[in-house]
Structure 1
């Protein structure tokens, strides 16, 4: 298992190519699930598990990994399936989301697969665990369900979208009232958090669940003669989405003369120097790791500053 993530080192080559790598695994059954390899740090056999009192029902316990204490989450139970009983031969996937590291207990890892985002489709409507999916794809005639990990984590440890009173008291933010932004994300949890933050600034929001829908929305406005710089204060986009990712969306925006000057923020559950490099590569104006309401307001403020007259 140690070598299963060797290909992660090549991940930067996928950016801007509308491609991704998924790590496929099983939970409590034969169904294949997946998450984006970008979020995975390592896959390993479950270390010694320590139980904790008053833990969340989905949390099996904690493990110590190279001096770091990580919660172990039963991903099967978290999405409404029967629990996995942890044992000495159990497998965990260590991931980083929204500046936190956690381990997911799974039934077994299958393989890593390189795909085009165009082959990743939004999940069908319906009840049950569909609410925990951001996408589906088909591999060897078998449906693979891509899990909305942000939703799982938000149920275990809810994130606040409340902006501090200090930030809201900034007089420059008066200029944001009534402005419009386009929010692009395949996670309903992320969209809700963004909308709630923007509402506190009295900013109007438009939403799209993937990059392709967002691009069509932008093009439709531009085709109707709308001045895009006047209409939108900014576009805030997730990185990994079905059909068209945020990197390709940014590339498409920059290649359209009517859209090229839009202020684009990459809003992602990934953090660190990788995103900084990718922002420069595809031409985003900035990036923000999910989910930080005060820092999102700081970014709105930075955008407003661009419209302020410069002192000579």
Structure 2
């Protein structure tokens, strides 16, 4: 299994090509599931787990790995199914999301496949609102379900979503009254988290679920004779998305003379193995790792104040 992961950190050549690699695994049955290799730090046979008091039922225990202690979550339980039996024969996928590491217990790990984001599609509309899918695809004629890990983590270990007192600049909503923020993310949970922060500042939002949908929206503004720069404060965009990823979306915006000046923040849970140089390569204005409401609010503050010619810092007095 170590050989499968040997080159995880050498796969950045996929970035900017609207491609990704999926690590395929199985849970309780024959259904194939996938996770982006960029999120994966290691795959190993399930180590000895130690119980901890008061833990979520989804957390089967904690493991001591590489000098650290990590929670190990049963992914089958997390998506509403039965607990995986015989965990000694199972595998653990160590991942990094939102600046934290955690392990997911799975029955077996298959292989890594190279995919185009254009072949990754949103879940079927008939899947309902309570599913745990962020996307689906096919590999060798078999359906692969890509799980919304951010939804799992939000349920198992909810994070603070409120902005701290004093972070939001007084009068920021009045300065932004004619503009709104475009939020682009395939995770329903992530979209809502960002939306709550921005709308909590008194600023309107528009939500899109992937880069292709967001690009079509921007082009529709142009078709209607509207100036996207006059409409939008900024775009807050995820990187991993079906149809069109955040890198490709950013590159498409920068290559369009009528859109190229839009302010784009790439907002992603790809924090540990993510190469920030790629953000500069595709021309994004900023990068922000998910999800810290204060940092996000500050970015919105800064952008609004920059657009209105204001400064966050008090003026320096003569002789100071």
TM-score above 0.5, yes or no:
yes
Deviations 1:110-132 (A, max 9, x none): 00000000100111133579710
Q: 1:245 to 1:298 in 2, by over 3 A?
A: same
Q: 1:171 to 1:128 in 2, by over 3 A?
A: closer
The reply to whether residue 18 of structure 1 matches residue 18 of structure 2 is yes
Q: Distance in 2 between matches of 1:303 and 1:234?
A: 7
The reply to whether residue 47 of structure 1 matches residue 47 of structure 2 is yes
Q: Could you say which structure has the higher helix fraction?
A: 1
Q: Distance in 2 between matches of 1:126 and 1:50?
A: 40
1:279 aligns to what? 279
Please give the secondary structure, in 1, of the residue aligned with 2:11.
Answer: helix
- Give unpaired runs (5+ residues) of structure 2: 316-320
Q: Distance in 2 between matches of 1:129 and 1:139?
A: 25
1:116 aligns to what? 116
So what's the TM-score if we normalise by structure 1? 0.95
Kept in 1: contact 2:38–2:273 (CA 8 A): no
Q: Distance in 2 between matches of 1:273 and 1:151?
A: 21
Q: 1:309 to 1:47 in 2, by over 3 A?
A: closer
Deviation at 1:200, TM superposition (A): 1.1
For this pair of structures, how many residues does the alignment match? 311
Q: Distance in 1 between matches of 2:128 and 2:42?
A: 29
Kept in 2: contact 1:176–1:201 (CA 8 A): no
- Equivalent positions of 1:147-186 (< 5 A) are 147-171=147-171, 174-186=174-186
Kept in 1: contact 2:97–2:269 (CA 8 A): yes
The reply to whether residue 59 of structure 1 matches residue 46 of structure 2 is no
Runs of 4+ residues over 6 Å off in structure 1: none
Please give the secondary structure, in 2, of the residue aligned with 1:111.
Answer: strand
Please give the secondary structure, in 2, of the residue aligned with 1:131.
Answer: coil
- Give unpaired runs (5+ residues) of structure 1: none
Kept in 2: contact 1:268–1:290 (CA 8 A): yes
Deviation at 1:306, TM superposition (A): 2.7
- Equivalent positions of 1:54-93 (< 5 A) are 54-93=54-93
1:207 aligns to what? 207
CA RMSD of aligned residues (A): 1.8
